[in-house]
């Protein structure tokens, strides 16, 4: 097989694998939430309820795809695709194992940040196009939340970049051979994870959706597979942030050699996905202004300080 075919194979595998994992997370999340609430969760369809995913997918595909008459039709249709596209594009730079990476960009992290910033459009456009007060409020909140958390998400990653001396994801993983970045960059890790949580607008930071206040926020008017795209996009976001945390702070595919590198990567990634679900199971949603002040007044200065100290130590050691 030629080089090109292997590359195409990798692309197809990453695409299908990530979409499958994201869909499977519906089951994982329901099951794990149940476990942490002393319930069983879906356990009827197939062994351990695993075919619940299929049932859910069949259901959502056959739902009526209703576009209300009062919406801005073109934008309404485009909005849910943006989150799928940007998140799937972000996976291009994630190195799953040595050699298994779609695009070994030398600006990998910047590409990831750019794509997750573009993801804000999905909320803004969906909220605006729905022509609904709740959707608009949701979109507004989502825009503010994603833009402000974007700032120190980038800043928290700069410590990693300084340590590795490169924006390239593979180089960053290789730089963690001696010690995972989580030890010297613990603050960076915590800030990145919180920002990632806000970036994927997952609970406890699901302020753009906030069922108890805004019905369903920016996707109130969506139904059928358009809603499904937001849904899968959110799970893709979780997978992406988990994968990025693994790569940037927990040594990516590195691990003892009794397991292949890709397995180490997946184990670490799923551990973070479970942390996402655990946080959803335990923490209440903060108020909107609390989220904002928490971000700008605590996390941003902390990220800057972290960057400053890391830079100073690296310079001192040279």
Partner 1 sequence: MLSSIRTVWLVFLHMFKKRVTIEYPEKKAYLAPRWRGRIVLTRDPDHNERCVACYLCAAVCPTDCISLQATEDENGRRKPEYFRINFSRCIFCGLCEDACPTYSIQLVPDFEMGEYKRQDLVYEKEDLLIDGQGKYHGYNFYRVAGVAVGVKGKGEGENESAPVDRKKLVP
Closest separation in Å from C-beta 173 to partner 1: 28
Closer residue to partner 1 (CB): 35 or 110: 35
Q: CA-to-CA distance for 49 and 90, rounded, in angstroms?
A: 31
- Tell me whether residue 79 or residue 194 sits nearer to partner 1 (CB atom): 194
* End-to-end alpha carbon distance in the chain: 45
> With respect to partner 1, which residue has the nearer C-beta, 7 or 44?
44
For the CB of residue 39, give the shortest distance to partner 1 in the complex, in Å: 5
Minimum CB separation of residue 126 from partner 1 in Å reads: 30
Nearer to partner 1, 33 or 100 (CB): 33
Taking the complex as a whole, how short is the minimal distance between the CB of residue 245 and partner 1, in angstroms? Answer: 16
Q: How far is the CB of 273 from partner 1 (least distance, A)?
A: 15
What's the min distance (Å) between Cβ of 278 and partner 1? Answer: 6
CA 217 distance to own-chain centroid: 19
* Residue 39 vs 59, nearer CB to partner 1: 39
Nearer to partner 1, 35 or 114 (CB): 35
- Are 226 and 63 spatial neighbours (Cβ–Cβ below 8 Å)? no
The three-state DSSP-derived secondary structure of the chain is CCHHHHHHHHHHHHHHHHHHHHHHHHHHHHHHHHHHCCCCCCCCCCHHHCCHHHHHHHHHHHCCCCCCCCCCHHHHHHHHHHHHHHHHHHHHHCCCECCECCCCCCCHHHHHHHHHHHCHHHHHHHHHHCCCHHHHHHHHHHHHHHHHHHHHHHHHHHHHHHHHCCCCHHHHHHHCCCCCCCCCCHHHHHHHHHHHHHHCCCCCCCCCCCHHHHCCHHHCCCCHHHHHHHHHHHHHHHHHHHHHHHHHHCCCCCCCCCCCHHHHHHHHHHHHHHHHHHHHHHCCCCCHHHHHHHHHHHHHHHHHHHHHHHHHHHHHHC
- Give 110 or 274: the residue with its C-beta nearer to partner 1: 274
Q: Which residue lies nearer to partner 1 by CB, 20 or 282?
A: 282
Q: Write down the least CB distance from residue 279 to partner 1, Å.
A: 7
Binding site for partner 1 (CB under 8 A): 35-40, 278-279, 281-283
- Going by C-alpha positions, the residue among 310, 84, 299 that lies closest to residue 192 is 299
- Shortest distance, CB of residue 296 to partner 1, whole angstroms? 17
């Amino acid at each position: 097989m030629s080089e090109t075919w292997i590359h195409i194979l990798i692309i197809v595998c990453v695409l299908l694998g990530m979409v499958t994992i994201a869909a499977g997370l519906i089951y994982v999340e329901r099951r794990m939430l149940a476990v942490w609430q002393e319930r069983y969760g879906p356990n009827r369809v197939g062994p351990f309820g695993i075919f619940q995913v299929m049932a859910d997918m069949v259901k959502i595909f056959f739902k009526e795809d209703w576009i209300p008459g009062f919406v801005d039709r073109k934008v309404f249709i485009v909005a849910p695709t943006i989150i799928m596209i940007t998140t799937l594009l972000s996976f291009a730079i994630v190195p799953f194992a040595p050699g298994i990476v779609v695009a070994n960009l030398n600006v990998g992290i910047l590409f990831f940040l750019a794509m997750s910033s573009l993801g804000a459009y999905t909320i803004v456009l969906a909220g605006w196009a729905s022509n609904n007060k709740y959707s608009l409020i949701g979109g507004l909140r989502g825009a503010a939340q994603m833009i402000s958390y974007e700032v120190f998400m980038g800043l928290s990653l700069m410590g990693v970049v300084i340590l590795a001396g490169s924006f390239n994801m593979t180089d960053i993983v290789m730089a963690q051979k001696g010690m995972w970045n989580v030890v010297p960059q613990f603050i960076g890790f915590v800030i990145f994870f919180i920002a990632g949580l806000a970036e994927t607008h997952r609970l406890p930071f699901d302020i753009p959706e906030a069922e108890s206040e805004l019905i369903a926020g920016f996707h109130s008017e969506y139904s059928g597979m358009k809603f499904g795209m937001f849904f899968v996009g959110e799970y893709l976001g979780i997978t992406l942030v988990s994968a990025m945390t693994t790569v940037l702070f927990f040594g990516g595919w590195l691990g003892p050699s009794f397991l292949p590198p890709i397995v180490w990567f997946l184990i670490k990634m799923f551990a973070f996905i479970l942390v996402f679900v655990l946080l959803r199971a335990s923490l209440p949603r903060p108020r909107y202004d609390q989220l904002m002040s928490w971000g700008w007044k605590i996390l941003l200065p902390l990220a800057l300080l972290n960057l400053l100290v890391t830079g100073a130590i690296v310079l001192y050691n040279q």
